Chains A and B, each alone.
Chain A
Amino acid sequence: MTATLTTAPETTPSGGAARTRRPARAGRLGRASGLGLGVAMLWFSLLVLLPLTAVVVTASEAGWSGFWRTLTNEQTAAAIRLTVGCAILVTLVNIVMGTLIAWVLVRDHFIGKRVLEVLIDIPFALPTIVAGLVLLSLYGPDSPFGVNVANTRPAVFLAFLFVTLPFVVRTVQPVLEELDPEVEEAAASLGASRFTVFRRIVLPSLTPAIAAGAALSFARGVSEYGSLVLLSGNLPFRTEVTSVRILSSIENDNLPGAAVVATVLLVISLAVIVALDLVQRRIARRG
């Protein structure tokens, strides 16, 4: 264990050196790789690009007024407000708790830390419908300590909190691992308090990672569906989220209406992807 830890810093400079040489080694497409790219793009287009385009095109067929009428439908507007509001709230909680969890996982040492690492990943791997059932067993009608949030708005919040748990932790953790504690020690020895050290030294280097994690967590929250099915009761105007609204449009054979609402979610996803790309480029420039 100690051996792997002591060799770890040596791998970083060589990795860094390889990265600076990168522009020279990216090759041009040959015959085989060109064919590979063609096949990959065809598959990607058939699977992802064409279907997502179909959503936007179908939505636009409703025309601007139809588009607007669907979105301003009271029930749909309430669902979008609830989803976005809850996702913002959960993202704020994740920014604080995710950073704190990453901090404890990297800087603190105690027995059972490996167990926490596994717990962080569980929401990512657990089927969403099972996640809903899991939360229902502790915070539902059979709760061992009498907290029943089933079919209420806090249930939506709770479900979002569960499924978005890993994102901020997993983006902040590697950055925190790479930070050199000597800079913090220097600041501390010059009389900075622990809070000042965190705010002036640690936080600025973590900000891009926190932003990336927050963006992912927001996107995941907005698009969540499976964990809510059993937990929130999907009551119109109260606990119905956007994805549930889209599904009920599909089930009522109102595909154009579903496509309009789906387009709103797609725009949010795209905005998050663009933001992530920008943040990652900024990290790469710095690194």
Chain B
Amino acid sequence: MADHRTHRRRRGPATYVFRLIVVAYLFLLVAWPVSLVAQNALEGGFGNIQAILEDPDVAHALRLTAVVALVSVAINTVFGVGISLLLVRYEFPGKRALSALVDLPLSVSPVVVGLSLVLVYGGRDGWIGPTLEDLGLRVIFSTPGIIMATVFVALPLVIREVVPVLEEVGTEQEQAAASLGAGPLQTFRRITLPSIRWALVYGVVLTLARSLGEFGAVKVVSGNVLGETRTATLVVEEKYLNFDRPGAYATAFLLALVSVACIVIVSIIRPKERRT
């Protein structure tokens, strides 16, 4: 059917003009600049990248970023699937408000996210920060704060992918499974999870990319202590501002490599589960 359609459509000059405009726009805005970063990072071989990997402070920052990203992905996956199931399968008061509010982190400035966490969990004059600190739990200027900020900014990504699929698959199979004697956990594992699998993978990959790259919120809550709470994105800024351009480009290249890999994986997965 699609083939007929394309044959029947007349291709006026406008088609080619539009195509040209779009390709030129994306080339100038995205493709060329991104490839330049790769070019700058790989200038003179892999020496720059090797140098930053051998720098203990950068290596620590990369490890911290990886740990924070993995923990936030785990939290957001469990929380995201749970909230999605509640929003689609159950009725409860305040459902509409919750459904709108989970999108809020998408449009809140990262700096505001950081500020809001400092106001509540700040060790000196936060709302509950001093109490937590007395109990021995330091949030702000420490890893828990970095994780909270990262989880906050990436919160809606899994939910936004899983909710539409859950709505589309309906409950017939789940009810059939339940009527045949499957427990809730078994139904979830054997029926629900397989049907949302690809949406979930997509959401998780987006969450991972977002978590690795968070900058503004982490900058506010981390205190940016060298070798302790400095993450990879903060290293890029610090190196660039200290005129260590090769180091900045090399670190940026590593981060870009992971996020572009995420996007490519997603685009390979996507056509199989084309949502209409």
Contacts and interface: CB of A to CB of B under 8 A. Distances in A.
Q: Do A and B bind each other?
A: yes
Interface of A: 2, 4-6, 8-9, 11-12, 15, 18-19, 21-22, 25-29, 32-33, 36-37, 39-41, 43-44, 47-52, 54-55, 58, 97, 100-101, 103-104, 107-110, 114, 116-130, 133-135, 137-139, 144, 161-162, 165, 174, 177-178, 181, 185, 194, 216, 219-220, 222-226, 229-230, 242-244, 246-247, 250, 255, 258-259, 262, 265-266, 268-270, 272-274, 276-277
B90 A27 contact: yes
A181 B40 CA distance: 46
14 contacts: A27-B90, A52-B104, A54-B116, A101-B22, A101-B26, A108-B19, A120-B30, A127-B215, A127-B259, A134-B36, A137-B249, A194-B14, A225-B109, A265-B108
B152 A47 contact: yes
Given A127-B255, A165-B29, A174-B276, A266 B37 contact: no
A33 B256 CA distance: 40
B47 interface: no
B157 to A, nearest CB: 10
Contacts of B206: 124-125
B5 A128 contact: no
Contact of A223 (B25, B33, B108, B255): B108
B274 A37 contact: no
B82 A243 contact: no
Contacts of B108: 52, 223, 265-266, 269
A250 B216 CA distance: 12
B32 A50 contact: no
A28 B110 contact: no
Interface string B94-133: 0010111111111111111111111111000001000000
Contacts of B275: 174
B91 A100 contact: no
Interface string B23-42: 10110111111101100100
A258 B276 CA distance: 43
B55 interface: no
A27 B118 contact: no
Q: Is the interface of B mostly helix, strand, loop or mixed?
A: helix
Contacts of B103: 273, 276
B176 interface: no
B264 A118 contact: yes
A136 B73 CA distance: 30
B79 interface: yes
Interface of B: 1-3, 5-6, 8-9, 12, 14-15, 18-19, 21-23, 25-26, 28-34, 36-37, 40, 79, 82-83, 85-86, 88-92, 96, 98-121, 127, 148, 151-152, 155, 167-171, 184, 206, 209-210, 212-216, 219-220, 233, 236-237, 240-241, 248-249, 252, 255-256, 259-260, 262-264, 266-267, 271, 274-276
Contacts of A277: 96, 99-100
A122 B34 contact: yes
A104 B19 contact: yes
Task: Point out which of A8, A51, A124, A224 has the most chain B C-beta atoms below 10 A from its C-beta.
Answer: A51
Given A40-B86, A54-B119, A262 B107 contact: no
Contact of B240 (A178, A181, A230): A230
B40 A137 contact: yes
Choose among A104, A107, A226 the residue with the greatest number of B CB atoms under 10 Å from its CB: A226
Given A37-B86, A178-B276, A265-B112, A100 B18 contact: yes
B259 A118 contact: no
A34 B37 CA distance: 50
Contact of B112 (A128, A161, A262): A262
A134 B26 contact: no
Closest 6 CB pairs of A and B: A127-B213, A223-B109, A51-B116, A219-B107, A125-B209, A54-B119
Nearest to A256: B119
B22 A133 contact: no
Nearest to A110: B19
B213 A223 contact: no
Contact of B104 (A22, A104, A144, A270): A270
A273 B100 contact: yes
Contact of B33 (A135, A268, A276): A135
